[in-house]
Structure formats: structure tokens, C-alpha cells
Amino acid sequence: MPPSSNAPEPRPGPLAGLRIVELPAFVAAPLAGMTLAQLGAEVIRIDPLRGGMDQHRWPRTGDGASLYWASLNKGKRSVALPLDTPEGQRAAADIICAAGEGGGIVVTNLPARGLLSYDLLSARRPDLIMMRLLGNHDGSPAVDYSVNCASGFPHATGATEAPVNHVLPAWDIAAGLYLTTGLLAAERRRQATGEGQEVTLALSDVMLATVGNLGYLADVQINGVSREPVGNALYGAFGRDFATSDGRSVMVVAITTRQFDALGRATGLTGKLRLAGELVDADLTTEGGRYAARHALAAVLEPWFAARTLAEVRAAFAGSGALWGPYQTFRQLVAEDERCSPDNPMFSWIEQPGIGTYLAPGSPLSFSRDPVPPARPAPALGADTQDVLAAAGQAR
């Protein structure tokens, strides 16, 4: 058994004192647990003896260690149990239901059955909180890609009516953060009443809520229209990509009139941009007018960017108030972006067992009164099994 990796010494952070058990896989549930661990909670991940379904997901190192798994499980403790046996399930239940204020909280996106069902766990610990992620609200399975394809966004992405998938697992990420919100809401109620509860969240409902909250469901029902694909243009305002003379690309955004005026000053094209708006009879003082004139405005701006390198664009825009950013590969992000560096207090160097040393993010939140702990490495699978079982009264 490897040594304990993240022993429960007192940890700083606004969630210090909370003890959360995970039974997770893939993105949403592990992200929820890591988010809470980064704010000071003790988070114990329980996996089968050979690891969960996400133990070896890409990206991986050359010798097969999962960078994905290590990155989503930073700062946790790891327990490995034979969860396919009654003995393993009983040990997991003991860990979940262990006595202590701040404990009795479980997060899972796996089927909660048998000894790990909410009914049996809450019978042992009435103040138990179970935060459970479903695929669809009826309990049928779904994953990010099977939800995203139905969301309407792939048909609004790209430049044609053919659907285009994006590679960001947006619904998993949003669901993970919803899980943390639901858990903290249930824990707040438990503090007030002493009562636990089961809280469920469906991945497809996260998608539907988001589409509705952004106005696209109402747009269909009220206006009878569906957002069209507009390539890299910003829908409803002015913004799009431009190529530079050295083969790079930048995104320029001007949502407000002040931002649009700053773009004109930074490029020296204020007069020509106004003339372009007049030629297409667009009111450039409104978002909708700038969107309607987007092609004319882009025609004015394209030669300016094409005549300059990325460095020259950066110099011209520095301190101007104009909104822009360079398109970057992951490699360029690491090599070129000063925000992705040790100068950003969110980052710290970690030594990840079996992988090596690299710069890793902690919590993006910063509290004026509660210091947030720096990034901590992910545990080796099962590194904390004996310590956690002993604390739960199950040492063997």
C-alpha cells in the first residue's frame, strides 16, 4: 500500500471542516469534488481496486499515466475497495457515514444501489447529504456529447448549417459546478435544521436550463426563429477573428459603444468605421447596428490586421481599452501567455507521483479573509485506504 498522500492535517480555506466522499467517474463529479477540495474541504475519492472508468483517460504520459485523472483529482485522498462485493460496499458505507460534524456528505454520478443507496445510508446517518448526478431526469444515461448534440449549439457553431461539435465538455463542467452549489445549499440547510437530504441533478437539465437562460428557447417560442451559424462572428454585437501578417489570428470584440470607440482609436480607423456603418445604413451606437454592419466593418479592419504582426497588434492595443485576444494552441498558451505562469497566484508547482513536476492551477477564487490552499497533487490510487478505514473504525 503506498503511503498516505494527502493526510488530513488542518487545511486552510473557507470549506475547512467539511468532509466529502466521492463515488465518481469522468468529468462532472470529480470536478465538483476537486472544486470543494481546493477550497479546503477534505475530499475522499472511493474507487474499485483497479481504478474507476476514468483511470486511464487521455491525455496521458508516454508511459500511460493519465494526466486527465491526475488533473481532476488534485488535493483529494484516495481509497480503493472491492465495490463489487458486499464487504467493499459496507466499508464504503462506513466511510460515508462515519461520525463527525461536517461529514456524512457523498457526491456520485454512479448508480446508488444496495448498501450505497440513499435510503440505507440515511437510515444509518439521518443527516446524510447525497448529491447525485443523473444523465436524464428520468434516470436514463447520457454523457456530454449525447446531450450537446441535442442542445442546438452544434447547429449554431461553425459557418454552415452542418452541425459542429466543440471539444469543450461544457455541460460536464457546468454540471460539476451545479453539484457544488447544490451540495453547499443542502449543507447550509443541514446546519440550520440538522436534516440531510438527497439532491439530484440531470446533465440534460443543465443543458436545457442553460439554453433557456440564454434566451434561445424563448427566441423560438416567441419569435419563431432559431439562431443561425455565423462562424467566428459574435452573435448580436460586433466581434470576429482577424489574421495577422505572421500567420496568427486574433479575436476582436466590441459589445459596447465605448469598446467600439476604443477599437477605432487603437487602429486609427474611427472615420472609416463610421463611414462603413453609414454605407449600410446601420446605427453603430447600438449592438444590433454593429452586428448588422459586421461585414462592412470587417472589410475595413481586415487590411489593418493583415499588415501587422501579432506583436504589433499587441503594442497597438496595449492600454487602449479595446477588447481582443490572440488565438492560441494549448502549446502556445503555455509558452506565451503570461497569465499561465507562476506569476499568476492561482498556479503553483506540484510534484505528481508517477508523472513529474508541472505547473498546476488551484482554485480561481480568492477570498479576502480565508486563504485558499495552493494546488496539491492527486493521490496514487488507494494511497489513503488504510488511514481512512482506520478513521472510520474499519482498520484491518
Question: For the chain, what are the domain ranges?
Answer: 19-211+341-391, 249-326
Instruction: Express each pLDDT in 308-325 by its tens digit.
Output: 999 999 999 999 999 999
Please say whether the beta carbons of 46 and 21 come within 8 A.
Answer: yes
Please determine, looking at this structure, whether the domain spanning 19-211+341-391 carries the CATH number 3.40.50.10540: yes
The predicted pLDDT at position 8 comes to 56
Q: Among this protein's residues, is 172 annotated catalytic? A: yes
DSSP character at residue 61: -
Indicate if the alpha-carbon torsion angle 286, 236, 178, 334 is positive or negative. negative
Angstrom distance (rounded) from CA 91 to CA 132: 20
Strands 323-326 and 347-352: what pairing?
A: unpaired
Sheet bearing 105-108, strands edge to edge:
77-81, 42-48, 19-23, 105-108, 129-134, 197-202
Residues forming a β-bridge with 259: none
Please say whether the beta carbons of 152 and 210 come within 8 A.
Answer: no
The predicted pLDDT at position 112 comes to 85
Instruction: Express each pLDDT in 37-88 by its tens digit.
Output: 999 999 999 999 999 999 999 999 999 999 999 999 999 999 999 999 999 9
Catalytic residue from among 144, 172, 384, 387: 172
Please say whether the beta carbons of 93 and 69 come within 8 A.
Answer: no
pTM greater than 0.75 (yes/no)? yes
Q: Which of 375, 250, 358 is nearest to 306 (CA)?
A: 250
User: Maximum distance among all alpha carbons in the chain?
Assistant: 81
